[in-house]
Structure 1
Amino acid sequence: MSDTFDIAETLDVKGESCPMPVVKTKNAIDDLAEGSVLEVLATDSGSMSDIDGWAEGTSGVELLEQVEDGDVYKHYVEKTA
């Protein structure tokens, strides 16, 4: 789980719905250094597929893991370039 990642920043988008979790994730990852991991905390179940799809189609980022923790969805995104 997240214990294996050195998290550079946590982005809290709980209570926000599509497309804001993806928009804010993109903005936050742009500000990070290469190799940094962003933890995203969301309550929108759609964020699981939305962030996965965004990461899949975006160069320079890699979705490392997604975890459902009760009603919070945790996403770990690394900036690779």
Structure 2
Amino acid sequence: MTTTRLDLAGLKCPLPALKTRKALKSLAAGDRLEVLCTDPLSVIDIPNLIRETGDKVEITERSESRIVFLIEKTNGPIGKTDTASSTHN
């Protein structure tokens, strides 16, 4: 398990979520991504992204000047699996 740090200070919506999504693609299941943001909207955008990916997220620090997320990769590479592909007779 490794922890990667991603400093997104100064970036505005939607860049923090987009860069977080890109960084998650290269992580293996069990790896962690620590994301530092200064955009207040990231408290909405990052958890919404993680809801889509199925990974785990917690806010480890939140102040007026910055928000730090700790994301744990649980599903391997991001990609939508087609669970509705079974044929019905």
**In 2, are the aligned partners of 1:7 and 1:39 still within 8 Å (CA)?**
no
* Alignment-derived partner of residue 78 in structure 1: 72
* Alignment-derived partner of residue 43 in structure 2: 48
Correspondence 1:1-81 to 2 at 5 A: 8-59=3-54, 61-63=55-57, 65-66=58-59, 67-81=61-75
Query: Scaled by the length of structure 2, what TM-score is found?
Result: 0.75
Query: Scaled by the length of structure 1, what TM-score is found?
Result: 0.82
- The structure with more radius of gyration: 2
- Give, as a single letter, the amino acid of the residue that structure 1 aligns with 2:74: T
C-alpha distance in structure 1 between counterparts of 2:52 and 2:68, whole Å: 19
How many residues matched? 74
In the alignment, structure 1 segments of 5+ residues that lack a partner are 1-5
**Identity across matched positions, percent:** 35
Measured against aligned partners, the alpha-carbon deviations of 1:25-57 in whole angstroms (never above 9, x if no partner) come to 011111111101100000001001110111112
Q: Which moved more, 1:38-47 or 1:6-15?
A: 6-15
4+ residue segments displaced more than 6 Å: none
* Alignment-derived partner of residue 81 in structure 2: none
CA RMSD after TM alignment? 1.5
* Alignment-derived partner of residue 3 in structure 1: none
In the alignment, structure 2 segments of 5+ residues that lack a partner are 76-89
